[in-house]
Amino acid sequence: MINDREQTVACDTTVVDILRARRLEPGQTLVELNGRIVQPEDFEDVQPQDGDELKVHTIVCGG
The pTM of this model reads: 0.85
pLDDT at residue 63, as a whole number: 64
Cα dist from 5 to 15, 54, 55, whole Å: 16, 9, 10
Q: Per the CATH hierarchy, to which homologous superfamily does domain 1-63 belong?
A: Beta-grasp domain (3.10.20.30)
Q: pLDDT tens-digit profile of 6-48?
A: 888 888 999 999 999 999 999 899 999 999 999 999 999 999 9
